[in-house]
């Protein structure tokens, strides 16, 4: 793996925090975490990238449903995830597979989720991970509510949500972030600004100079960070988490990255954009960046790289076998795992489904 040496400046990155240059040169020595964290950040990104690449292959083989790939954006999720404590809540978007992996969701369960199997969305409640959100921005009011609940319970825990740049144009984004600000909830809102809301560029969906500037209207800090720099992402999230735990309220983080891959496995980005910009961002690959830095310090070798790759391939193979053994989907599963106590209408519908099944 070779890091890019020189890249043209990108105006989207103006004013963002970076710890490493795209070629892995150290820009902010004061913000480098300890060696153990450095290695966790790198291996977390590599594992996520291997899974993402494999998932796209599995989808083409008919072994997954529509899959929202994230390759090239993993630093945003991995850096933020590692900055949290055990017990903190995370609310991912549909593109949040790396976030879920970092927070303990098993690969088998992730595979089942992208097969549309109910078991993929019944996450272990101890993990404090909510299922992948398909509706846009619904997770933002939920994040505010969870954070406020933890504040009132005095647990010291926080809630962190991810959302794409397109999602910030939804009403639920405004409602949730404003609520969190008004009630000084311990929340972190991460905008993964990858430049595209499916086929709509950020410059078309908003006249705002940047999305972090919206934070002022909600009474909270707005931070802009290079989302392809995992060290910068780790640092700003850690600061936001510490601020939340001190009782100082929520933070809005705008992570500038780029969706170099299709929106999902069913998308063709060549229909609405030129790939020259995506090609430039491939030179800002987050894994290449950190690996170059680690190698410069003698902390990483090709042997270690191959160990991670082989280990991840074995994990994916085992996860596929486990997912293939999942129980068949029963029709009544459509009405389960929705409310803690089913509504009366749902009980009637469930009884009807079971009656129909009994006639088969």
Q: pLDDT for 142-158, tens place per residue?
A: 999 999 999 999 999 99
Which one of the listed residues 60, 272, 297, 354 is annotated catalytic? 272
pLDDT-derived band at 6, boundaries 50, 70, 90: low
The count of structural domains within the chain is: 2
Asked whether residue 1 is assigned to any structural domain, the reply reads: no
Name the pTM for this structure: 0.94
331 CB burial (10 A radius; 0-12, 13-18, 19+): exposed
Mean pLDDT in the chain? 95
Q: Which domain holds residue 222?
A: 11-329
Which one of the listed residues 12, 49, 259, 284 is annotated catalytic? 259
**Token pair 């009403």 is at which residue?**
171
Q: Which of 72, 76, 39 is nearest to 53 (CA)?
A: 72
Residue 157: predicted pLDDT: 98
The 10s digit of each residue's pLDDT in 49-71 is 999 999 999 999 999 999 999 99
Whether residue 161 sits in one domain with residue 87: yes
Say how many C-beta atoms besides its own lie within 10 A of residue 285's C-beta: 22
310 CB burial (10 A radius; 0-12, 13-18, 19+): exposed
Whether residue 190 sits in one domain with residue 323: yes
Residue 339: predicted pLDDT: 86
Q: Is the pLDDT of residue 5 over 70?
A: no
Asked whether residue 6 is assigned to any structural domain, the reply reads: no
Q: What is the CATH number of the domain that holds 89?
A: 3.40.50.970
> Crossing angle for the helix pair 35-60 and 74-82, nearest 10 degrees?
140
Whether residue 166 sits in one domain with residue 83: yes
**Token pair 């009782």 is at which residue?**
247
Whether residue 20 sits in one domain with residue 147: yes
Residue 263 bears catalytic tag: yes
Which one of the listed residues 54, 103, 128, 263 is annotated catalytic? 263
């Amino acid at each position: 793996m070779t890091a890019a040496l020189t890249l043209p400046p990108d105006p989207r990155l103006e004013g963002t925090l970076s710890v490493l240059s795209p070629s892995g040169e150290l820009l902010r020595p004061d913000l480098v975490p300890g060696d153990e964290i450095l290695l966790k950040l790198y291996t977390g990104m590599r594992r996520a990238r291997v899974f993402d690449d494999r998932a796209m292959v599995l989808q083409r083989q008919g072994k997954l449903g529509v899959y929202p790939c994230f390759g090239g954006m993993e630093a945003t999720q991995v850096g933020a995830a590692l900055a949290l404590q055990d017990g903190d809540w995370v609310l991912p978007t549909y593109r949040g597979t790396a976030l879920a992996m970092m927070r303990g969701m098993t690969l088998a369960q992730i595979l089942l989720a992208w097969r549309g199997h109910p078991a993929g969305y019944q996450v272990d409640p101890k993990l404090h991970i909510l299922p992948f959100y398909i509706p846009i921005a619904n997770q933002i009011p939920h994040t505010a509510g969870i954070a406020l609940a933890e504040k009132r319970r005095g647990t010291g825990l926080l809630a962190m949500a991810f959302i794409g740049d397109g999602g910030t144009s939804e009403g639920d984004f405004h409602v949730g972030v404003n609520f969190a600000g008004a009630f000084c909830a311990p929340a972190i809102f991460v905008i993964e600004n990858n430049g595209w809301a499916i086929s709509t560029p950020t410059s078309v969906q908003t006249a705002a100079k940047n999305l972090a500037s919206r934070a002022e209207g909600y009474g909270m800090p707005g931070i802009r960070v290079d989302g392809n720099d995992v060290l910068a992402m780790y640092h700003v999230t850690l600061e936001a988490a510490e601020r939340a735990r001190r009782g100082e309220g929520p933070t809005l983080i705008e992570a500038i990255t780029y969706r170099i891959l299709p929106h999902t496995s069913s998308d063709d980005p060549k229909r609405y954009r030129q790939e020259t910009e995506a090609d430039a961002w491939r030179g800002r690959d987050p894994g290449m960046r950190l690996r170059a830095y680690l190698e410069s310090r003698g902390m990483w070798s090709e042997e270690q790289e191959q160990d991670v790759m082989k280990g991840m391939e074995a994990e994916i193979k085992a996860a596929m076998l486990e997912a293939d053994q999942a129980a068949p989907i029963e029709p009544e599963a459509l009405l389960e795992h929705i409310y803690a106590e089913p509504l009366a209408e749902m009980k009637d519908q469930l009884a009807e489904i079971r009656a129909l099944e009994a006639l088969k």
